[in-house]
C-alpha cells in the first residue's frame, strides 16, 4: 500500500465524522497550545530577569548581612565595614564602594500620597550603578556632610507624585512628614533583581541615618555595593571583601555573618529557579497532551469497533495485517498532527496576547516562542498519535476475517 493512499484514506475516514474528529483533536490542540504558551512565557521571564541583572554591571558585588546559621551573635554591616572595603591597601581589586540604607516611607506632595522605597546613599552610588539623572543633579559630598534635606526621585515615583517626569527639580515633597527638596530625577531603568528600580527615592546617607531610616547601631547599613576594578577582578575582589569582613567581624571561614554575591551567582540562581519553573510549566502542559492522547485512543478503539465488518472485508480481499495496522495508525497520526499544527497557532496567539497585556500594564514580560519549542511540540504531538494509536491499530490488525464479517 502506498503512503499517499494510506494518508488519503486516513483523511477520508476522519472527515466522515467531523464532529467526533474535531472534539478528539481538541485535546491535542489545547495540550500543544499550553506547552508553547507556558514555555514561551517562562523563557521570556528568564530573559527579562537575566537582562536586568546583566544591566547592573559585570563587575559588581553585593554584600549582605546574614550568612551561616551557626553564628550565634551575627553583627550587622556598618559604615566602618564600607570604609575598610574601600581601602585600596586592604582590597586592591575594589574600585568603589557604595553603602546603602533602605526602607519604606510615606511620600506626599500636594495631596498625592504614596508609599515608596526610601534609600540612603552616597555620591558613589551613581558610579557603581552606572545610573544617571535626566534632570538636576545627584547627591554630592556637600549634601552628605550637611545632612541636607534633598532627594533624587526615580522616574516611577516622579510620575506617581507629579504626573510627569520632568520640570520637577526644586519642588518640595514630604518624606514621613519632613520637607525635602527635589534636586534630580533618575533615568528610567525598569525592573531589576530587587524589584522595580524606578520605584525608589534616594536621599543622603547621613540624612537617612538621623531623620528617616534610623538604625541601632547608628552606623548600621543594609547593603554594600562593591565595584571591582574590572570584570576579571570580580573573583579576587570577592575574596578580599570576605577576608576584610571576616577579620572585622571576628568570624572564621564557614561561619560568616555576611554573604557576598556577584552577578554570576545571581544569574546561576535565576537559571536554576527559571529552569525548575519551566519544567513545572512544561509538565502541566504535558498532562494536557496526555489527556488528549487518551482521547485519541478512546476514539480509535470506538472506530475499530464500528468498522469491524469493514476490516473483515479488507482482509477477505487480501489486505494484510500490516496494511490494517498502517491504516489505523495513520489515522491516529493525522489526527494528532493536525491538532498539533492548530495548537502551535493557538499557542503562538496566546503568547502574543500575553505580550500585549503585559505591555498594557507595563509589566516586563516578553514571551519568546523559540523554534525548538515549536519543533518539540510538533514531534511530541506526532509521538502521542503513534503511542496512543498503536493499540487500537494492533487490535484492528489482529481481528479474524471470519469473525469480523459475522460482526453485527
**Do the beta carbons of residue 306 and residue 396 sit within 8 Å?**
no
Model confidence over 7-55: pLDDT tens digits? 677 677 777 778 777 877 887 888 888 888 888 887 887 777 766 666 5
Task: Determine the Cα angle at 235 with ends 229 and 237, to 5°.
Answer: 50
**234 and 341 both lie in a single domain:** no
Does residue 262 lie within any of the structural domains? Answer: no
- State whether 240 and 308 are in the same domain: no
Q: What is the pLDDT of residues 265-308, one digit of tens each?
A: 666 776 777 777 777 777 777 777 777 777 777 777 777 666 66
3-class SS at 73?
coil
Claim to verify: residue 349 and residue 297 sit in the same structural domain:
yes
Asked if residue 352 is part of any domain, the answer here is yes
- Provide the pLDDT for residue 171: 92
Task: Report the range of poorest mean pLDDT among 35-44, 63-72, 369-378.
Answer: 63-72
Identify the band that residue 97 occupies on the pLDDT scale cut at 50, 70 and 90: very high
Mean pLDDT across 237-251: 88
61 assigned to some structural domain: no
71 vs 96, more confident:
96
pLDDT given for residue 183 in this prediction: 94
pLDDT at 149 over 90: yes
Residue 6 confidence (pLDDT)? 65
If you average pLDDT over residues 207-231, what whole number do you get? 86
Parallel, antiparallel, or unpaired: how do β-strands 150-153 and 200-204 relate? antiparallel
- Select the more confidently predicted residue: 263 or 58: 263
Is the confidence at residue 111, as pLDDT, over 70?
Answer: yes
- Shared domain check, 121 and 172: yes
State the Cα–Cα distance between residues 165 and 188, nearest whole angstrom: 10
Q: Please report the pLDDT score of residue 137 as a whole number.
A: 92
Which domain range does residue 148 map to? 67-256
Amino acid at each position: 500500500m502506498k503512503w499517499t493512499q494510506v494518508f488519503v484514506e486516513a483523511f477520508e475516514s476522519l472527515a466522515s465524522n467531523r464532529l467526533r474528529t474535531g472534539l478528539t483533536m481538541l485535546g491535542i490542540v489545547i495540550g500543544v497550545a499550553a506547552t508553547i504558551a507556558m514555555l514561551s512565557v517562562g523563557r521570556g521571564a528568564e530573559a527579562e530577569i537575566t537582562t536586568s541583572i546583566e544591566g547592573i554591571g559585570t563587575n559588581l558585588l553585593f554584600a549582605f548581612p546574614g550568612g551561616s546559621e551557626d553564628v550565634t551573635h551575627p553583627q550587622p554591616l556598618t559604615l566602618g565595614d564600607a570604609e575598610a572595603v574601600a581601602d585600596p591597601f586592604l582590597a586592591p581589586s575594589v574600585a568603589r564602594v557604595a553603602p546603602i540604607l533602605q526602607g519604606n516611607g510615606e511620600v506626599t506632595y500636594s495631596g498625592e500620597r504614596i508609599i515608596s522605597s526610601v534609600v540612603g546613599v552616597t555620591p558613589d552610588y551613581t558610579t557603581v550603578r552606572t545610573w544617571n539623572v535626566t534632570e538636576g543633579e545627584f547627591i554630592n559630598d556637600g549634601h552628605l556632610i550637611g545632612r541636607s534635606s534633598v532627594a533624587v526621585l526615580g522616574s516611577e515615583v516622579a510620575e506617581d507624585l507629579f504626573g510627569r517626569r520632568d520640570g520637577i527639580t526644586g519642588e518640595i515633597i514630604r518624606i514621613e512628614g519632613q520637607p525635602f527638596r527635589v534636586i534630580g530625577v533618575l533615568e528610567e531603568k525598569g525592573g531589576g533583581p530587587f524589584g522595580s528600580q524606578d520605584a525608589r527615592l534616594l536621599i543622603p546617607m547621613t540624612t537617612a541615618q538621623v531623620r528617616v531610616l534610623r538604625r541601632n547601631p547608628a552606623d548600621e547599613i543594609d547593603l554594600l555595593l562593591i565595584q571591582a576594578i574590572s570584570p576579571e577582578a570580580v573573583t579576587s575582589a570577592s575574596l578580599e571583601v570576605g577576608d576584610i569582613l571576616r577579620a572585622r567581624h571576628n568570624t572564621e571561614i564557614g561561619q560568616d555573618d555576611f554573604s557576598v554575591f556577584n552577578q554570576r551567582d545571581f544569574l546561576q540562581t535565576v537559571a536554576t529557579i527559571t529552569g525548575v519553573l519551566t519544567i513545572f510549566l512544561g509538565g502541566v502542559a504535558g498532562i494536557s497532551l496526555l489527556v488528549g492522547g487518551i482521547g485519541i485512543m478512546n476514539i480509535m478503539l470506538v472506530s475499530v469497533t464500528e468498522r469491524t465488518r469493514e476490516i473483515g472485508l479488507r482482509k477477505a480481499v487480501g489486505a494484510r495485517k500490516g496494511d490494517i495496522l498502517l491504516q489505523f495508525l495513520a489515522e491516529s497520526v493525522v489526527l494528532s498532527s493536525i491538532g498539533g499544527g492548530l495548537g502551535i497557532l493557538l499557542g503562538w496567539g496566546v503568547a502574543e496576547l500575553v505580550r500585549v497585556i503585559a505591555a498594557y500594564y507595563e509589566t516586563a514580560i516578553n514571551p519568546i516562542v523559540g523554534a525548538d519549542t515549536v519543533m518539540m511540540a510538533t514531534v511530541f504531538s506526532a509521538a502521542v498519535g503513534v503511542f496512543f494509536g498503536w493499540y487500537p491499530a494492533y487490535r484492528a490488525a489482529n481481528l479474524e476475517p471470519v469473525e469480523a464479517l459475522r460482526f453485527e
